[in-house]
Structure 1
Amino acid sequence: MKDLDQGITANGQGTKLNILGQTYYIKAYCDTTFAFETNSEPGQFVPVHIHPTQDEFILVQEGELDLKLDGQWTRAKAGDLVRMPKGIPHGYFNKSDKPCRALFWVSPAGKLKDLFDELHEMTDVEEVVKISAQHDVDFLPPEAND
C-alpha cells in the first residue's frame, strides 16, 4: 500500500515523461490518487477514452483545451475545473495556437502511473492502445474524436 507523501512538488518539478510527444510531470502518487501536469503544444491531444474505475479531473492552468465529454464538445480555459466521472468517454485536444498547461488527477490511482511509466518514450500508437487497455484505459475508435 502506497500512502501519500507530504510536501510540495515545485513548479517545473516531478518525474518528467514523454508520452507521444507531450511532456508530463508526475506531481503526486499514492493508492488513492495520481496527479500529473501536462504540457500540450498546439495540435496535441489525447483521443477519446474511458477510465472504467477512476474519476478524473483537469485544472487548466494556462491556455485552453477543447474537450469531448460524453459525445459533446466543450472548452475549458485557464482556471476552469473539468470533472469526468468514471465510465464517461472523454478526450482532450489543444486546438488553439498556444501551449496549454494543466493539472490532471485521477482517483483512485489504479494502474495509471504504471501505464505512464510504460508509455514513456513509446512511439507506436497501436502498442500504446494495447498497453493502455491492460491498464484500465480503453480508447474508443477514431471516429469518436470527430
Structure 2
Amino acid sequence: MAKELAKGITANGSGFDGVKWNILGQTYFPKAVCESTFAFETNSAPGQFVPVHIHPDQEEFILVQEGQLELKLDGVWSTAKAGDLVRMPRGIPHGYFNKSNKPCRALFWVSPAGKLKELFDELHDKTDIPTIIKLSAEHDVDFLPEEANA
C-alpha cells in the first residue's frame, strides 16, 4: 500500500488502478488508497447488507450518493438518504442494510487505512461465511453475533 496519497481522479464507475471487487454480491470499487485513508464505493442491490461489525482502530464514514441505507449504529437504527454523511467512530458497532426496493450507491472511507484494502482483496468472490468472518478478524474487522443485526 502506498504511504502517500496519489494525486489524480478516479473515474465514476471504476476503481483505482482498474480494481473491482465482488464482496458477497455487492460491487466495490477502491477510489483512493494510502496509509492514512482508504476510500471505496459500494453498490448495494435491494436486500444486500453488511452485518454489524467493529473496526477497533479506524474511523469510518459513509456518504450516501444514491438511494438510502438503513444503519444499525451502536444498537440504534437510523436511515441515511442521498447526500447524508454517516460518522462511525472507531470501536462502535455498525452495519448497513439496503432495505429499500432500489439500489444504493455510497462512498465509504476509513482512516487510517489499516488492513481494509488487503481484506477486500482477500474477500473478492468468496462466499463461505465462516471463511469471511475469519479473514475479517485477521484484518481487524470483528463481526458481532447474528442477533446483533435484528
Shorter-chain TM-score tier: over 0.9
Give the Cα–Cα distance (whole angstroms) in 2 for the partners of residues 40 and 71 of structure 1: 22
Q: Which residue among 125, 135, 138 is the counterpart of 2:139?
A: 135
TM superposition shift of 1:66: 0.0
Q: Alpha-carbon deviations, 1:42-100, whole Å to 9, x = none? A: 00000000000000000000000000000000000000000000000000000000000
1:13 aligns with 2:14: yes
Which ranges in structure 1 are unaligned for 5 or more consecutive residues? none
Identify the residue that residue 28 of structure 1 maps to in structure 2.
32
Q: Which residue among 111, 114, 133 is the counterpart of 1:110?
A: 114
The alignment-based identity, stated in percent, is 77
Give the Cα–Cα distance (whole angstroms) in 2 for the partners of residues 10 and 28 of structure 1: 11
Structure 1 runs (4+) greater than 2 angstroms displaced: none
TM superposition shift of 1:2: 1.7
TM superposition shift of 1:13: 1.3
Give the Cα–Cα distance (whole angstroms) in 2 for the partners of residues 124 and 21 of structure 1: 12
Identify the residue that residue 46 of structure 1 maps to in structure 2.
50
Give the Cα–Cα distance (whole angstroms) in 2 for the partners of residues 76 and 126 of structure 1: 29
1:3 aligns with 2:34: no
Give the Cα–Cα distance (whole angstroms) in 2 for the partners of residues 22 and 125 of structure 1: 15
1:57 aligns with 2:61: yes
Identify the residue that residue 80 of structure 1 maps to in structure 2.
84
1:97 aligns with 2:101: yes
* AA in 1 matched with 2:78: T
Which ranges in structure 2 are unaligned for 5 or more consecutive residues? none
Q: Please state whether the residue corresponding to 2:20 is helix, strand or coil.
A: strand
